[in-house]
Structure 1
Amino acid sequence: MDVFLVVLLVLSVVGSGVAGGVFYAFSAFVVQGLDRLEAADAARAMRAVNVTAVRAPLMLELFGTALVAAVVAVLALVAPGPETWWIVAAAAVYVLSVVVVTGGANVPRNNALAAAATDGPALAAAWRSFRPGWMGWNHVRAAGASVACALFAIALAIAW
Structure 2
Amino acid sequence: MIEGPFFALTLLAALGCGLIAGVFFAFSTSVMRTLGALPWKQGLTAMQKLNVLIINPVFLGVFVGTAVLSVVVAVMTFVIWPDEGAWELLIGCALYLVGCFGVTVAANIPRNEALDKLDPEAPESAEQWKTYVKEWTVWNHVRGGGALAACAALVLALAA
Give the TM bin, normalised by the shorter chain. over 0.9
Runs of 5+ in structure 1 lacking a partner? none
Q: Is the 8 A contact 2:88 2:156 kept in 1?
A: yes
Q: Distance in 2 between matches of 1:125 and 1:38?
A: 12
Match for residue 151 of structure 1?
153
After the TM superposition, which parts of structure 1 deviate over 6 Å for at least 4 consecutive aligned residues? none
Match for residue 127 of structure 1?
129
Q: Is the 8 A contact 1:23 1:139 kept in 2?
A: yes
1:33 is aligned to 2:34: yes
Match for residue 118 of structure 1?
120
TM-score where L is the length of structure 1: 0.94
Q: Distance in 1 between matches of 2:56 and 2:119?
A: 24
Q: Distance in 2 between matches of 1:10 and 1:44?
A: 38
Q: Is the 8 A contact 1:106 1:138 kept in 2?
A: yes
Q: Is the 8 A contact 1:20 1:142 kept in 2?
A: yes
Return the match for 1:101 from 90, 100, 103.
103
Q: Is the 8 A contact 1:40 1:120 kept in 2?
A: no
Match for residue 91 of structure 2?
89
| 1:121 alignment partner, SS class | coil
- Provide the identity percentage: 34
| Mapping 1:16-27, distance limit 5 Å | 16-27=17-28
| 1:119 alignment partner, SS class | coil
Paired amino acid for 2:104 = T
> Aligned Cα RMSD in Å?
1.1
Match for residue 78 of structure 1?
79
Query: How far off is 1:123 after superposition?
Result: 3.5
| 1:78 alignment partner, SS class | helix
1:44 is aligned to 2:45: yes
Runs of 5+ in structure 2 lacking a partner? none
Match for residue 15 of structure 1?
16
